[in-house]
Structures are given as C-alpha cells and as structure tokens.
C-alpha cells in the first residue's frame, strides 16, 4: 500500500509505492485518460514489488478529471446499457476540453519533470529513472522521454509521441506495446516507427493479435486481454531491468 505525496506546493499529487527487495531503479507510471484511479495504483504497486520506487502522478485532476469522475466516465463508456453509454461522450468532451490544449500539455510535461526532480533526489538511485504510461499516459511517456534527458527508459502502452515532441532529444530506449485491433494507433504506427528511426531513437514495438486499446487494464472486462497483458508485463520487466541496470549507465 503506497502513500499520496504532493508536488509543487500542492499543485498536484502522486501515489508513491515503495520498492520491495533489491532497489532496481525508479519508475514514473502515468495513468490512462481516466486519471489516477485505483487500477493505476495497483499497477504502481506491482512494479514496486519488482524492486522499483514508483511514483504515479495525477496530471488530470488539475484539468477537472479527478479519479472519481474518471472512474464514473469509464463505467458509463463500457456499460451494457446503450442509454448509459450515451452519457459518456458529452461528459468526456466537457471534462477533457481544457486538457487537450497545448498550454495544458506544456503544464503536464513540466509537472512530470518535477516528478523526475523528486526521484533524482532520492538516495541510491543514481539516475536510474524510467517512465511507463497507458493510453493518455503512453503519449506522455513519449513526451517526457523526449523533453527530459534524465529519463533512461520509456515504456508506452498504446500511446504515440505528440507531434510537438522533439524526438531528436529522445536519448532513452523505448519499448512500446499495442493491440492489433487498435485501429487508430495501427494506422499511425508505421509513421511513428519511421519518425523514431529518422531521429536515431532506439525504438521497438510489440503488437498483440486479438487485442485492442486498453488490453492491459484488468478492470475493463470489455478490453482486457489476459494473455497479452501477462506477456507485456514480462517484456516490460525484462526491458526495465536491462535499461535501468547500473552497468547500463556507466
């Protein structure tokens, strides 16, 4: 069980999960579009159990998408009743409107950099900091890695780099995960791969047949794919252990 901590004089919060056993590094876990819901806290706890000091920042409450509102919109989105599902889209548009602005994006990346500041000051980490995110958080995992050279590994789940991201400054290796039935991201993945190659980024991706968006979220009975989630978990752990190992930064 982790604890909530404050950043920038209470401007935003984050969930801190303590590492178990050997300290393998630090990891920033960025939530989906639903915000810092309990599912993301459990994901943070799982990575902490693998030896990582994990912080899962809440970068959506600042724009109005609190975890409580996010959980309700997610419930409506995947409800079996068409009437309930119809309520989700207008509510999502209303809440997310300010979050989609360039100004909010700049605030979010700057806020994530403050989480890096916090982790950099923790003892015994020696700069071994990675970022991992889902959906909205996958996009911000790309964005943070491109904006902050202190990031040593990036693991985006079903995200893509923002057009504004300067990939020439993305020094860390990136391992991205996608569902083959995630139509929009599948259309853009070849372009993303080419952009990464042109920028000289160490980029690789893994796509799961039969899986779509949000395949890792075990609270979403519609989208969750247990086999894909388990495989992506194992691959992410192997990647982080290699990328954040002390010898990899010598």
> Counting Cβ atoms within 10 Å, is residue 72 exposed (0-12), middle (13-18) or buried (19+)?
middle
What fold is seen in the domain 3-249? Rossmann fold (3.40.50)
Instruction: For residue 236, give the H/E element and its range.
Output: helix 226-243
Burial 93-129 (b: 16+ CB within 10 A, else e): eebbeebeeeebbebbbebbeebbebbeeeeebeebb
Please state at what angle helix 136-147 crosses helix 102-120, rounded to 10 degrees: 70
Query: At 250, is the pLDDT very low, low, confident or very high (cuts 50, 70, 90)?
Result: very low
C-alpha to C-alpha distance for 201 and 29, rounded to whole angstroms = 21
* Distance, CA of 120 to CA of 53 (rounded, Å): 11
Q: In what order do the strands lie in the sheet with 151-157?
A: 3-7, 12-17, 52-57, 25-30, 129-134, 151-157, 174-179, 203-208
Structure tokens at 177: 């995960």
- As given in the structure block, the two tokens for residue 126 are 């020696």
- Give tens-digit pLDDT for 33-89: 999 999 999 999 999 999 999 999 999 999 889 999 988 998 899 888 888 888 888
pLDDT in tens, 180-239: 999 999 999 999 999 999 999 999 999 999 999 999 999 998 999 999 999 999 999 999
The pLDDT value recorded for residue 248 is: 55
CA–CA distance, 78 with 90 (Å, rounded to integer) = 15
pTM of the model: 0.94
> Domain segments of the chain: what residues?
3-249
DSSP secondary structure code for residue 9 in this structure: T
Note the pLDDT tens digit of each residue in 115-151: 999 999 999 999 999 999 999 999 999 999 999 999 9
- Matching residue, tokens 């109005």: 64
25 touches 244 (CB < 8 A) = yes
User: Under 8 Å CB-to-CB from 115, ≥6 apart: which residues?
Assistant: 7, 14, 28, 55, 57
Q: Report d(CA 62, CA 28) in Å as an integer.
A: 18
Nearest-angstrom CA–CA distance, 47 and 234? 11
């Amino acid at each position: 069980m982790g604890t909530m901590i404050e950043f920038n004089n209470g401007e935003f919060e984050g969930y801190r999960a303590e590492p178990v056993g050997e300290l393998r590094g630090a990891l920033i876990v960025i939530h989906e579009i639903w915000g810092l819901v309990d599912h993301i806290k459990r994901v943070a706890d799982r990575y902490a159990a693998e030896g990582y000091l994990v912080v899962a920042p809440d970068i959506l409450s600042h724009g109005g998408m609190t975890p409580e509102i996010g959980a309700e919109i997610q419930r409506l989105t995947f409800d079996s009743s068409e009437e309930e599902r119809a309520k989700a889209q207008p509510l999502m548009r209303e809440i997310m409107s300010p979050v989609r602005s360039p100004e909010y994006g700049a605030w979010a990346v700057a806020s994530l950099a403050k989480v890096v500041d916090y982790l950099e000051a923790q003892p015994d980490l020696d700069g071994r900091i990675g970022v991992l995110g889902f959906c909205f958080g996958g996009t911000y995992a790309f964005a943070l890695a491109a904006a902050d050279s202190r990031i040593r590994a990036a693991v985006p789940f079903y995200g893509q780099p923002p057009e504004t991201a300067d990939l020439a400054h993305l020094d860390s290796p990136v391992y991205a995960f996608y569902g083959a039935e995630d139509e929009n991201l599948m259309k853009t993945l070849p372009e993303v791969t080419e952009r990464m190659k042109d920028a000289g980024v160490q980029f690789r991706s893994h796509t799961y047949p039969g899986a779509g968006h949000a395949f890792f979220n075990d609270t979403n009975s519609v989208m969750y794919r247990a086999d894909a989630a388990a495989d992506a978990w194992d691959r992410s752990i192997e990647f982080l252990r290699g990328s954040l190992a002390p010898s990899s930064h010598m």
